[in-house]
Structure 1
C-alpha cells in the first residue's frame, strides 16, 4: 500500500543530522538512500521536505531504523521540539476520528509537560484524538507511556444504556476502520514506544495498575460505566496527579463527577457550544 510520507519528519531528520557526527550521518543515510531508491526519488529531496509516496512498510522500516541509529549512536533521547508536538496534534485532527479540540489537546500537552508522568492511562481511545497529544508530549519529555484501554466493540460500547439515539449510533460505527487508522497513525509517526494498547473492558483491567500519574476518563457514559471507571481508576492516581473527565455535560456522568469533586480540585474546564461545561481537568488532592 502506497501512502504519503510525513515530510515534516524527514526535515527534522535533516536538522538532527546537522549536529551529528560523521558515523551517525553515514548510518542514517544508508536507510534514507534505500527509501529514496524504493520511492523513486532522491535522498536530497526527501530530506528537504519534497512530498513523495512510498510503501507503508518501507516508510515504517526506514523510520524505525533511523531512530535506532540516533538512539544507539547519540546515547540519549531524541529531542522533539514543541513545534513537532503541535504538528502531531494538527495531523491527528486531520487524520483521526474523534472530538478532542485543539484547545483541549494543548491542555493535555501542558499537563504532561508540567507533571512529567511515567504512567498515563486513557479509558476510551476511540480514534485516538486525545491520546496522540499525550503520546507526543511524552516523547518530547523522553520518558513515560500512555496505556489506552479500548475494545472497539459495539456490544461493550452499549453494555449499559445511555439514551436511545446515542446507543443506536454506537452500534453502527465502523470500529474496524477506526482502529486500523489509529494503529497506522501510531506506526507512521513513530509513537509506538509511548503507546500501549489494552483491548479489554476497562472494568476488567484496573488491577494492572498500582499507581497512575495521568488519567483520562472517556469510556462508557452510562451512569454505571462512568461511575465505575472513576471508582476503579481514580483511587490509583497519585496525589498531585491529573484526572480528565470528558463529557461532563451528560446527565449520566453526573454521579461520576460528584465523586471526583469530593477528593479532587478542578483546575480547568472546557465548555460545549451551549456554554455548558463539557470537560473537566482535576488535580488529585
Structure 2
C-alpha cells in the first residue's frame, strides 16, 4: 500500500477540507462518490463512481478501487459508510487505514468535552466578590458557546486566562477594551464576545503584524517566529474577526507605541471590518505585545494612563519561560501605583490588576 488517499464520499464539506489539506502535503488523492453526477468530481485528479454503500456489490467495487490505485488510507466522513468500512475493511484489507469513520459521534464527543470544560470553568470562577455592580456569571449555553467560538481560533490564550477573563468581565466598567498584540485573534474574540454579552464597550486591537515586531531576543523563539507569515496572520485575524465585529471591534496595524498617538476621545476607525467609535477611556487593557522588557515598558507607560477607575490591566505572560520582561514591568507597576490598586492576582501565566 502507498500513501495514496481515497476520499469517499468526496463532496462533503469535511471531504473538501481533507482534500485541500492533503493536497498541500503533496499526497496523491482519489475522489469517489455514488452519484451519477457529482459537482465535486472536477476537484480531483482521479474520480470514480462506487455503488451506494447498501447496494449489492459495494464492497467488491470498493476493494477493487483500493487495489487498482494502491490506496493506503481512506477518509470516510459519513457515519453509515464509516460503520460499514469499520466492520469489513479489517478482514478484507487490514493494511488500509481508515480515517474519521464516525464523524457525528466524534463531534458529539467534542461537545461533551466542551461542556465538561465549561463546568470546570464555572467551578473555578467563583472567587470574585459579589456586589451591587457585579454582573451575573456567564454560564450554561452562553459559556459553552463562547468557548466553542474561541476554540475555533488557534492561539496561546490558555484555559486559566480564559477563565479569569470570563470572571473579571462581570466587574469591568464601561469603556473601551484595548488589546496590545492580537495575532490571529483568539483572545480578541473572547474579549469581543464577553463585551457583547455584557453590553460593554468596543474592542480595539493593536498589532503591527510585522516581522520587526516579532523578535523577542530568544534564538529558539525567534527562529520559529521568523518562519511565520505576518501578512498571512493579519489576513487570518481579519477573517476570524469579520463575522463577529459588527462595528464593535476594529484594529490599528501599528506597534502599540506608534498607535498611542491615534488613541483619543471620539476616535472613529473605518477599516474592512467596518466603522467603530471609541470613547478614549479604557475599561480593560490587555498587554500581550512584544515581551522584550523595553517594549513592555513602552506599552505600560503609554497605555495604562488611559485605564479608568475600576478598570483592569492584564499583563499576559507575567510568568513566561523565555524571559521576565512582562513580570518586571508588572511588578514595577504594582509597586509604583499601590495606592491606586483595588486588588491584583495571578491566574495561569497572567497578572490581573484592578484599579481602585
The verdict on a shared fold, with TM-score over 0.5 as the criterion, is yes
Q: How large is the Cα RMSD of the aligned pairs? A: 2.5
- What do the CA deviations read for 1:176-234 (whole angstroms, capped 9, x no partner)? 3333232222223x333221111111001223144211100000100100111111111
TM-score (norm 2): 0.51
Q: Distance in 2 between matches of 1:3 and 1:128?
A: 24
Q: Which runs of 5 or more structure 1 residues have no equivalent in the other structure?
A: 5-49, 51-79, 272-277
With over 3 angstroms needed to count, the CA separation of the structure-2 counterparts of 1:176 and 1:232, relative to structure 1, is same
Aligned residues: 200
Q: Distance in 2 between matches of 1:116 and 1:211?
A: 10
- Determine which of 183, 187, 192 is the counterpart of 2:246: 192
Residue 139 of structure 1, CA deviation: 1.1
Residue 82 of structure 1, CA deviation: 6.1
Residue 85 of structure 1, CA deviation: 4.8
Residue 128 of structure 1, CA deviation: 1.4
- What do the CA deviations read for 1:101-155 (whole angstroms, capped 9, x no partner)? 2332232132223224321100000121211111001111234101000121111
With over 3 angstroms needed to count, the CA separation of the structure-2 counterparts of 1:194 and 1:106, relative to structure 1, is farther
Match of 1:86 in 2: 144
Secondary structure of 1:113's aligned partner: coil
With over 3 angstroms needed to count, the CA separation of the structure-2 counterparts of 1:82 and 1:186, relative to structure 1, is farther
- What do the CA deviations read for 1:226-280 (whole angstroms, capped 9, x no partner)? 1111111112111221010011123222331122212135533123xxxxxx211
The answer as to 2:195 corresponding to 1:138 is: yes
* Structure with larger RCO (C-alpha < 8 A, sep 6+): 1
Q: Distance in 1 between matches of 2:281 and 2:223?
A: 36
The answer as to 2:165 corresponding to 1:108 is: yes
Are 1:155 and 1:171, in contact at CA under 8 Å, matched by a contact in 2? no
Secondary structure of 2:170's aligned partner: helix
Secondary structure of 2:155's aligned partner: coil
The answer as to 2:322 corresponding to 1:269 is: no
With over 3 angstroms needed to count, the CA separation of the structure-2 counterparts of 1:3 and 1:228, relative to structure 1, is farther
5 Å matches for 1:92-171? 92-93=150-151, 95-158=152-215, 161-171=216-226
- Determine which of 243, 250, 255 is the counterpart of 2:328: 255
With over 3 angstroms needed to count, the CA separation of the structure-2 counterparts of 1:232 and 1:184, relative to structure 1, is same
With over 3 angstroms needed to count, the CA separation of the structure-2 counterparts of 1:241 and 1:82, relative to structure 1, is farther
Q: Distance in 1 between matches of 2:237 and 2:13?
A: 15
Secondary structure of 2:169's aligned partner: helix
With over 3 angstroms needed to count, the CA separation of the structure-2 counterparts of 1:108 and 1:3, relative to structure 1, is farther
Match of 2:90 in 1: none
Match of 1:39 in 2: none
Are 1:269 and 1:280, in contact at CA under 8 Å, matched by a contact in 2? yes
With over 3 angstroms needed to count, the CA separation of the structure-2 counterparts of 1:186 and 1:235, relative to structure 1, is same
With over 3 angstroms needed to count, the CA separation of the structure-2 counterparts of 1:118 and 1:97, relative to structure 1, is same
Q: Distance in 2 between matches of 1:176 and 1:89?
A: 27
With over 3 angstroms needed to count, the CA separation of the structure-2 counterparts of 1:186 and 1:131, relative to structure 1, is same
Bigger helix fraction = 1
Are 2:173 and 2:310, in contact at CA under 8 Å, matched by a contact in 1? no
Match of 2:354 in 1: 283
Are 2:315 and 2:326, in contact at CA under 8 Å, matched by a contact in 1? no
Q: Which runs of 5 or more structure 2 residues have no equivalent in the other structure?
A: 1-11, 15-103, 105-137, 265-279
Q: Distance in 1 between matches of 2:345 and 2:170?
A: 16
Are 2:185 and 2:241, in contact at CA under 8 Å, matched by a contact in 1? no
- Determine which of 314, 324, 331 is the counterpart of 1:244: 314
